[in-house]
Structure 1
Amino acid sequence: MSDSERQSGQGARPARAPRRITADYLQRAALHYLERYSAPAAQLRRVLARKITMSCRYHGDDPALHAVALDEVIARCLSSGLIDDRRFAEARAATLRRKGQSSRSVMVKLTAKGIARDLAGEFANTHADDEVAAARVAAKRRRLGPWRRPDERAACRQKDLAALARLGFGYATARTVIDGDAESAP
């Protein structure tokens, strides 16, 4: 294919038409999605609703006609244990903490995925030691404070404190990490 054909769109494969929505199709789509990704109920609902919207727009149907089927698929996945918001929140919060995310950041990311605020808060809030450990991980990844070159450390102290504050860590936690030493870090 020549460059002019690519630019004009000639020779490109036509887009595939979305399938018509049936209850069986929605169940298979949910299972296929959950085989690949761990997701809470709200995320699965968004994915399936997007499929319904695209199909209905293409075929001229009303998306409201498929609301009952969507609810049934979500209920079936919940009752069979395929989706469990508590298990998802616990695993995702642990992953984010290991990556050096603050409690605030974990809370925001869990609620963005559709986890209820009270459940997200349960897994996002940790002990002060865990918050310091996460701040150390974040500082090490970004080469802040003790992980900075020794000749730059004092000059960049305020900048490093601000960087940890933007990541959602409190001032006391940021000061503990930035003024600490790298040897005591995990």
Structure 2
Amino acid sequence: MDEPKGGQGDRAPGARKRPRKVSPRYLENAALHYLKRYAATVSQLKRVLVRKADRSLRVHGGDRAEALGWVDALVEKLLRNGLINDQAYAGLKAQSLRASGRSARVIAQKLRMKGVAAEVVEQKLAEATAEVSEDAAARIWARKKRLGPFRRDAQARQENRQKDLAALARAGFSFSIAKKIIDGAPE
């Protein structure tokens, strides 16, 4: 019988691959690979690298403080070289979320969860709101979710008014904005 492809060898299906021994080179390669695939903040990248280091240390042993020092040094190097930039990440993310109809509350929350500093969140949110207002974002969200004036049936619009208002509230929009969008015309 042939050995399965993918280098699993005698590993059970679904079992995780044994991690490599942590080293500065290993961490740098892991960081570069991650950054090729995903835009990330400093905080996100640190979490990924610390998780990799911890997993490796559990298997191979070693000094966690030393590994964390390597992570910090690598992050500083990547910052100097411009490969990670919280300002740029927050700007792109805020604009993208706003254009897709997200409220200021949701955008701020998502950026804070990614580890972006509060003053950067505030600045980038103001820039995104200058391009697309809160009313326009609520209208985009209502159109995407077919709420209020964007429902196909006028009778269903009246029957579902409270549900539509609640949906916009859950999306982070104020009651006054939700009421204006739900009770307004589709234009």
- TM-score class, shorter-chain normalisation, is 0.7 to 0.9
SS of equivalent residue, structure 1 residue 141: helix
Distance 2:80 2:65 in 1: 24
Calculate the TM-score normalised by the size of structure 1.
0.87
State whether structure 2 residue 170 is matched by structure 1 residue 166.
Answer: yes
**Residue of structure 2 equivalent to 1:27:** 28
Q: Share of identical aligned residues, percent?
A: 42
Residues 176 and 53 (structure 1), Cα distance of their counterparts in 2 relative to 1, 3 Å cut: same
Residues 25 and 128 (structure 1), Cα distance of their counterparts in 2 relative to 1, 3 Å cut: closer
State whether structure 2 residue 146 is matched by structure 1 residue 143.
Answer: yes
Deviates further, 150-159 or 32-41: 150-159
**Residue of structure 1 equivalent to 2:157:** 153
SS of equivalent residue, structure 1 residue 16: coil
**Residue of structure 2 equivalent to 1:71:** 72
Cα deviation, residue 11, structure 1: 5.6
Residues 180 and 163 (structure 1), Cα distance of their counterparts in 2 relative to 1, 3 Å cut: same
Provide the aligned C-alpha RMSD in A: 2.1
Residues 127 and 99 (structure 1), Cα distance of their counterparts in 2 relative to 1, 3 Å cut: same
Structure 1 gaps, min length 5: 1-9
**Which aligned segments of 4 or more residues in structure 1 are displaced greater than 4 angstroms?**
none
Structure 2 gaps, min length 5: 1-10
Distance 1:42 1:87 in 2: 14
Letter in 2 for 1:142: K
Deviates further, 126-135 or 66-75: 126-135
SS of equivalent residue, structure 2 residue 133: helix
Alignment of 1:35-184 (within 5 A): 35-125=36-126, 126-127=129-130, 130-148=133-151, 149-182=153-186, 184=187
Distance 2:21 2:55 in 1: 10
Cα deviation, residue 158, structure 1: 1.9
Cα deviation, residue 145, structure 1: 0.5
Distance 1:181 1:70 in 2: 54
Counterpart contact for 1:146–1:180, Cα < 8 Å = yes
Aligned pair count reads 176
Distance 2:14 2:165 in 1: 52
Query: For each residue in 1:95-151, what CA deviation from the matched residue of structure 2 results, as whole angstroms up to 9, or x when unmatched?
Result: 111211100000000011111122112222425961111111111111100011211
